[in-house]
Amino acid sequence: MPGSRKSPRGAHRETMDPSRPNNRNPAPIRLLLVDDEKGFVDVLSKRLAKRNIHTTQAFSGSEGIRLLRRSDFDVALLDLKLEDMDGIEILKIFKKMDPHMPVIMLTGHGSEKASIEGIRYGAYDYLTKPHELAELVEKINEAIRHRERTDDTDENASC
């Protein structure tokens, strides 16, 4: 159906397509942000909210897993290094719980090798910290568009 996408669990929502004139108030992107740096998470969440990205915050891997069990998200932003769990292990769990949800890995400087390992396990992409907000927003939007194409392909294959 044009102008909407079907989530893996059956809910419909309008996509964010600024080129469509009838899409004045698109539904916000639902982002799960998992990072144990509270100050970073708070500031990033506020900045993303101004760009129609609703952020649900998790300050540990186990909290992120609990939140994903309870809610659907369009995309996840996952720090590679957390105090309670390894980001790659969390990624593997996320991909089992919601195989279609794109996951963008965040890594500190010098950890690109581990992020590339994340892509091998199903991460959509990765960014190093610090990063430009515009770059992050573009990656989030790319991930959403990628998911929509994948969902459309899956729907057509099942017809």
pLDDT value at position 68?
Answer: 98
From residue 10, alpha-carbon distances to 6, 23, 135, 151, 155 in Å are 6, 21, 30, 11, 11
Homologous superfamily in CATH for domain 27-158: Response regulator (3.40.50.2300)
pLDDT value at position 12?
Answer: 35
pLDDT value at position 153?
Answer: 61
pLDDT value at position 4?
Answer: 37
Ordered per-residue pLDDT tens for the chain, 159 residues: 333 333 443 343 444 444 334 445 688 999 999 999 999 999 999 999 999 999 999 999 999 999 999 999 999 999 998 999 999 999 999 999 999 999 999 987 666 777 788 889 999 999 988 889 999 999 999 999 988 887 666 555 555
From residue 72, alpha-carbon distances to 13, 131, 146 in Å are 12, 26, 17
From residue 124, alpha-carbon distances to 62, 104, 148 in Å are 21, 6, 13
The CB-side HSE value for 145 (13 A sphere, CA atoms) comes to: 9
pLDDT value at position 7?
Answer: 42
pLDDT value at position 3?
Answer: 39
Secondary structure class of 10 (helix, strand, coil):
coil
pTM over 0.75: yes
Neighbour tally for 147: CB within 10 Å: 20
The amino acid at 151: D
Helix axes 38-49, 133-158, angle to 10 degrees: 70
Secondary structure class of 6 (helix, strand, coil):
strand
pLDDT value at position 17?
Answer: 42
Domain boundaries, the chain: 27-158
